Amino acid sequence: MNAAQIATIAVLCLSGVSGRVNASDTHYECTVVSAMKLTDQGTLLPHWTIKPMVGAKFTVDRVTGRIMGGPLDNANLKIEVVDRGTSEMSFQAFSRSTQKTHTSLIEIQEFVSDAEKPFVGTTTLYYPGVYSGICK
């Protein structure tokens, strides 16, 4: 381990002990409320293949854009945080496979003053569709 890695681990440990860092400062905890697929007619409708994703929970790392769990999981994709989100802008992250055949996008409306932030996301990977819900 190099000095930078040791320093990072020390800061993370001390942050956890001091209690100063809130979970929401480092990540979002999200729940899917709606799951839709694009029809041949260009509309979005519920579909039996992704209906089980309603109620799914996942976590979004606000620094790296890594999504853990749920239909938008981007573990095997190259991730780019487009915008970290502010009181005026949404958090946005884009992911793609190395072959550029699959993509995923999430937008979390960080600018909403409520503790619950709406999100919308799309994916072409495991559970292709359009998802929306709430992040905290």
Token pair, residue 15, equals 């942050």
Residue 17: predicted pLDDT: 35
pLDDT of residue 24: 60
The structure's pTM equals: 0.80
DSSP string, 19-87: T-S-HHHHEEEEEEEEEEEE-TTS-EE--TTTGGGTT-EEEEETTT--EESSTT--TTSEEEEEEE--S
CB 126 within 8 A of CB 99: no
Which of 115, 11, 27, 13 has its CA nearest to residue 64? 27
Give the mean pLDDT per block of 10 residues along the chain (136 residues). 42 37 73 96 94 97 96 95 95 93 96 96 94 98
